[in-house]
Structure 1
Amino acid sequence: MAPEDRRSMIVRAVLPLVVEHGAAVTTSQIARAAGIGEGTIFRAFKDKDELIEACVVAALDPGESLEIIGEIPGDLPLEQRLQEAVEALVAHLHRIGAVMTAVHRERVRPEHLRGRAAKSGDSRRESMEAMRTAIVGLLRPDAANLRLPIEKAAALFLSLLFSMARPVPGGPSSAEVIDVFLHGAVSA
């Protein structure tokens, strides 16, 4: 297996352990979860900290959610396409929250990870841009029916969606967010 493939495989196997144990996860737990020997961990990663950081970077990467959104058939009704996109993006946000909470229970080093794995040095901006682009693609079959330019509509939808990341007591469900996005908050 190529070194980068091995690293990715280990990270995928370890992410649930990082959520459960944070940085306190042991190398024996990591080895068991990945189905490898402990020595293999240190051939793929300099140390456990580097592996934990790779898990954080993987959690922040929206790639899997964007792939799911890209596979949503354009001939589905817009409301259904949006619901599937919400499910994918909310799962991504929950994964970020779970990993960051678990890792930062023991230590706080967010500055150390800023710009990590980003072409421009701003991974958060790149991630948001990739999500906006995915939503633009999702909206494209209905672009003629949008009251806003498609780029602005996608940004508005993401703003509504991200408001769900820190829910307000009694706040909207995903179905209500989609309904407000599609039909507004005021009845005519």
Structure 2
Amino acid sequence: MIVAAALPLLVEHGASVSTLQIAKAAGIGEATIFRAFTDKDELLDACLAAALRNDHVLAELDCVPLDQPLAARLTEAAATLHAYLERMGAVTAAMHTAGRRRERARPGDGGATDSRADAVERTQQAVVRLLEPDRGTLRLPVEQLAVIFLGMLFGRRGARRGAPGGAETPVETLVDVFLHGVVGKPADPS
């Protein structure tokens, strides 16, 4: 409850958000925050961890009906993942702007690196599930296509910097290019 109330404030005000603002948003007294967290830093760390978790995104992807056409399934998945990336980016940017950086785990210590790899694997498996009903009509294995699809989607954020006017490619366009490629129909030779 406290973290959920703090996340939008963190995006709006950055790490300088006060515990009083968070308490008001959560509908609790400020002292209650310090019964749940030892200090503001621990609360901010909990907010960052919550923003990076993808459990809710995986649950949303699991709710995508498999009887929809493939393009509709992938468009819904792309929109869901895009919204997650935007939320995650907003929170991490707010923390970074305030000079707070998430402590990086060393490989093999069971920390953030391992959990990030697990999150990526689980996301890929969710996309594989969405591709599976069409396995027989696809040119490549669904596991490989899931990696390609996620690469296109995740790369879309960085690509906006080089796009005309900084515009972002709509998810519908991304799905269309993923499914149909970039080459148009050949000209009629007649």
TM range (shorter): 0.7 to 0.9
Listed as ranges, the matches of 1:22-101 within 5 Å are: 22-101=14-93
Q: Do the aligned partners of 2:104 and 2:112 also contact (CA within 8 Å) in 1?
A: no
Q: Report the AA paired with residue 40 of structure 2.
A: K
Q: Report the AA paired with residue 180 of structure 2.
A: H
**Higher Rg of the two aligned structures:** 2
Give the 3-state SS of the residue equivalent to 2:157 in structure 1.
coil
The answer for the alignment partner of 1:185 in structure 2 is: 182
User: How many residues matched?
Assistant: 177
How many Å separate the matches in 2 of 1:121 and 1:20?
A: 28
The answer for the alignment partner of 1:169 in structure 2 is: 163
Give the 3-state SS of the residue equivalent to 1:107 in structure 2.
coil
Give the 3-state SS of the residue equivalent to 1:36 in structure 2.
coil
Unaligned 5+ segments in structure 2 are 186-190
How many Å separate the matches in 1 of 2:71 and 2:23?
A: 43
Give the 3-state SS of the residue equivalent to 1:76 in structure 2.
coil
- Offset, 1:150: 0.8
Q: Report the AA paired with residue 182 of structure 2.
A: A
Q: Report the AA paired with residue 17 of structure 1.
A: L
Q: Deviation per CA, 1:17-50, whole angstroms, max 9, x where unpaired?
A: 0101111010110101111111111111111111
- Offset, 1:121: 4.6
How many Å separate the matches in 2 of 1:169 and 1:147?
A: 30
The answer for the alignment partner of 1:140 in structure 2 is: 132
Q: Do the aligned partners of 1:114 and 1:123 also contact (CA within 8 Å) in 2?
A: no
> What percentage of residue pairs aligned between the two structures are identical?
48
How many Å separate the matches in 1 of 2:39 and 2:122?
A: 31
The answer for the alignment partner of 1:103 in structure 2 is: 95
How many Å separate the matches in 2 of 1:79 and 1:49?
A: 43
Q: Where do 4+ consecutive residues of structure 1 move more than 4 Å?
A: 118-121
Q: Report the AA paired with residue 157 of structure 2.
A: A
Deviates more, 1:99-108 or 1:44-53: 99-108
Unaligned 5+ segments in structure 1 are 1-8
The answer for the alignment partner of 1:18 in structure 2 is: 10
- Offset, 1:177: 0.9
How many Å separate the matches in 1 of 2:48 and 2:112?
A: 18
Listed as ranges, the matches of 1:119-138 within 5 Å are: 121-138=113-130
How many Å separate the matches in 2 of 1:128 and 1:181?
A: 20
Give the 3-state SS of the residue equivalent to 1:165 in structure 2.
helix
Q: Do the aligned partners of 1:86 and 1:161 also contact (CA within 8 Å) in 2?
A: yes
Q: Report the AA paired with residue 34 of structure 2.
A: F
How many Å separate the matches in 1 of 2:84 and 2:71?
A: 20
RMSD (Å) for aligned C-alpha atoms: 1.7
Give the 3-state SS of the residue equivalent to 1:57 in structure 2.
helix
How many Å separate the matches in 2 of 1:103 and 1:120?
A: 17
- Offset, 1:172: 3.0
